[in-house]
Amino acid sequence: QQQVKQSPQSLIVQKGGISIINCAYENTAFDYFPWYQQFPGKGPALLIAIRPDVSEKKEGRFTISFNKSAKQFSLHIMDSQPGDSATYFCAASRMDSSYKLIFGSGTRLLVRP
Amino acid sequence: EAGVTQSPTHLIKTRGQQATLRCSPISGHTSVYWYQQALGLGLQFLLWYDEGEERNRGNFPPRFSGRQFPNYSSELNVNALELEDSALYLCASSFPRTGELFFGEGSRLTVL
């Protein structure tokens, strides 16, 4: 019940294309869903996050879509750029208790020039 | 403003030894989290400290332990090192009960 399942494991997109990464969770008590971006040799950095009271959140080229009934959420990167090449992690947590983030297994994104 | 800092950057130990990793949180953050990132794998939750106390623990054996000091810095100790403990150990900090974690660059532990 604590798992967050992430797909695909790796993704190759042409510059200017749309990158889509999906995550699914089981624990309906989760109420905070962030996405982290990690470059090689660096720690993960918060990219964008959503709460279950909204179905979509957009920040620049990055959009989170959230489907509460399906227990799924996804990250869309519009107009993907080579600089977006990194590993992306989805995560989930309960804001009323443990606050610990449960991470997905990560998606390695490569944006070709 | 300084981010989360971790030391050492790299650490090489042999099986059976002990490793100590250190973390300084962002100023004002009282919560510190430790995660293990094994090669090619995701981040596995290890420990959460808040206001000097251990608040939550992941599914790791007792030889993984730590503490948080009065200045909110933290230490992770791994006893009786095993080969599979080789990983990047990430520390994160946050304001109390916000869930928004800020990560350091990690300490890479290699067990030979």
According to the 3-state scheme, what is the secondary structure of A43-66?
Answer: CCEEEEEECCCCCEEEECCEEEEE
pLDDT in the model for residue A77: 98
Q: Which chain A residues contact residue B54 at CB under 8 A?
A: none
Beta-strand ranges (E) seen in B18-104 are: 19-24, 31-37, 43-50, 53-57, 64-68, 74-78, 87-94, 102-103
Q: What is the mean pLDDT of chain B?
A: 93
Would the pLDDT of A45 be above 70?
yes
In Å, how far from its chain's centre is CA A61?
Answer: 13
pLDDT in the model for residue A98: 64
pLDDT in the model for residue B1: 66
| A45–B105 CB contact, under 8 Å | no
Q: What percent of chain B has pLDDT over 90?
A: 84
Which residue in chain A is spatially nearest to B103 when comparing CA positions? A43
Residue A17 touches partner B, C-beta closer than 8 Å:
no
Would the pLDDT of A4 be above 80?
yes
Mean pLDDT score, A37-50: 93
Q: Which of B10, B32, B43 is the mutation pick for testing A, counting most A CBs within 10 A? A: B43
Would the pLDDT of B41 be above 80?
no
Q: Which chain B residues contact residue A93 at CB under 8 A?
A: 99
Residues 6 or more apart whose Cβ sits within 8 Å of residue A64: A33, A35, A48, A49, A50, A56, A57, A58, A73, A74, A75, A76
Q: Which chain B residues contact residue A106 at CB under 8 A?
A: 41-42
pLDDT in the model for residue A1: 58
Would the pLDDT of B19 be above 90?
yes
Which range has the top average pLDDT, A39-48, A81-90, A98-107? A81-90
Considering only CB atoms, A43 lies closest to which of B31, B41, B104, namely B104
Which has the minimum average pLDDT: A61-65, A98-102, B89-93? A98-102
Would the pLDDT of A81 be above 70?
yes
